Structure 1
Amino acid sequence: MATTHVLAGVVVGLGTLALVPEAGPVVLAGALGGLAPDLDLLGDHRKDLHFPGYGSAAAAVAVLVAAAAPSPATLSVATFLVAAAVHAVSDVVGGDLTLRPWEATGDRAVYEHVRGRWHRPRRWIRYDGAPEDFLVGVALALPALATLDGPARWGIAGVLVVSAGYALVRRSLVDAGERLVAAAPDPVLAAVPETLIEDLR
């Protein structure tokens, strides 16, 4: 789920900060990088903003630039791109893109632009919001909870609360969404991006 990717990005940021204590807002950059690919939910999800190949290459270049000319700006950009690449690559180990991924009927995990094809889901994490997804998020949050303080620590705790809530209702959300779309008047549906509701019709 998106919150797990955010927490993975925070870990990337903490790693940068451990290497370069004066790195600047790299933890925030990592969190945003972990979230950014999922902004394609409004378009072709796991394709429009997910770049396992090109994203990894861009991250590698950014890391080299940051190593050669370290500054808050270069380190933040590198951290953002590494977190975004980790997000895209790690989606391969999750479930598919169907409405009910726990049924394991789909064969698309994340699109690889380099090869022009979809990676198949490995399903090590069966679906977004699965119990194991939440547990991975908890594990990723531990370093941040141990090292951050103040609002940042509360922010991490808040992300975990959101993760827990989503994991609890994940399966029921699909049925609720279908009922909501079926009951909504056409003018309301016309105002909602089609990509968000097409599978619920």
Structure 2
Amino acid sequence: MMATTHALWGMALAVPVFAVAPEFAPAAALAGLVGGLAPDLDLYTGHRKTLHFPVYASITAIPAVALAVIATSAWTVALAVFLAAVALHAASDTLGGGLELRPWQGTSDRAVYSHYHGRWLRPRRWVRYDGAPEDLAVAGVAALPLLAVGDAVVTALTLALVGISTIYVLLRKRLAEIARLLASLLPAPVRPYVPERYLEP
């Protein structure tokens, strides 16, 4: 799924905080945004393996949520939402496509690496690929409660993320070809540092 979809769902995890403890909601929304994006910092180094932990991140999030309930503060709530967003990102990547440059072709059997299982989990392709129309729909579902309960900053950020998502969906297939073209123009000494999917013919 798109990074923006993960960001929106991370923020959506803060929606209950708006209702129960609104004083902590800004910190929770920011933590959800950062947690939703954080796993994709491995985009160019072992993508969906280096920083994606679908099982371990989920296990870690459980005591963090319990701590936030028992000892509620801005820090504990933010930590809980951050870890839950990291876990949701890693786990939900199995619902999308594989790691190939053109995931709409469905040629990859690698969705996300599970360190717990010691193997790659296969893509289920419920969302066919990142940037597919259904990916935008999933992002929209996360945006609705944020628009309903969020303050002005959350509303503006949500609308910006949905806007970026829409543009990405419209350009998705062209961007893959541009990336491949740019990678082919790189000098030979640099190519070993470029992820293999960008060098696909």
User: If the length of structure 1 is used for normalisation, what is the TM-score?
Assistant: 0.91
Shift of 1:193: 8.6
Gaps of 5+ in 2: none
Deviating more after overlay: 175-184 vs 107-116: 175-184
**Contact 1:30/1:79, CA 8 A, preserved across alignment:** yes
For residues 4-54 of structure 1, what are the alpha-carbon distances to aligned partners after superposition, in whole Å with 9 as ceiling and x for unaligned? 000001110112332323325101111111111111102101111111110
**Contact 2:58/2:84, CA 8 A, preserved across alignment:** yes
Q: Distance in 1 between matches of 2:143 and 2:192?
A: 33
Gaps of 5+ in 1: none
Specify which of 117, 138, 141 is matched with residue 140 of structure 2.
138
**Distance of aligned partners of 1:13 and 1:195 in 2 relative to their CA distance in 1, 3 Å threshold:** farther
**Contact 1:2/1:35, CA 8 A, preserved across alignment:** yes
Residue of structure 2 equivalent to 1:160: 162
Q: Secondary structure at the match of 1:52?
A: coil
Shift of 1:152: 2.5
Residue of structure 2 equivalent to 1:116: 118
Q: Distance in 2 between matches of 1:16 and 1:38?
A: 25
Structure 2 letter corresponding to 1:87: H
Residue of structure 2 equivalent to 1:199: 197
Residue of structure 2 equivalent to 1:56: 58
Specify which of 93, 98, 101 is matched with residue 99 of structure 1.
101
Residue of structure 1 equivalent to 2:11: 10
Q: Distance in 2 between matches of 1:19 and 1:61?
A: 19
Q: Distance in 2 between matches of 1:50 and 1:18?
A: 30
Q: Distance in 2 between matches of 1:195 and 1:63?
A: 38
Q: Distance in 1 between matches of 2:28 and 2:137?
A: 24
User: If the length of structure 2 is used for normalisation, what is the TM-score?
Assistant: 0.91
**Contact 2:183/2:194, CA 8 A, preserved across alignment:** no
Name segments (4+ residues, structure 1) moved above 3 Å: none
Q: How many correspondences in the alignment?
A: 197
Residue of structure 2 equivalent to 1:31: 33
Q: Distance in 2 between matches of 1:193 and 1:63?
A: 42
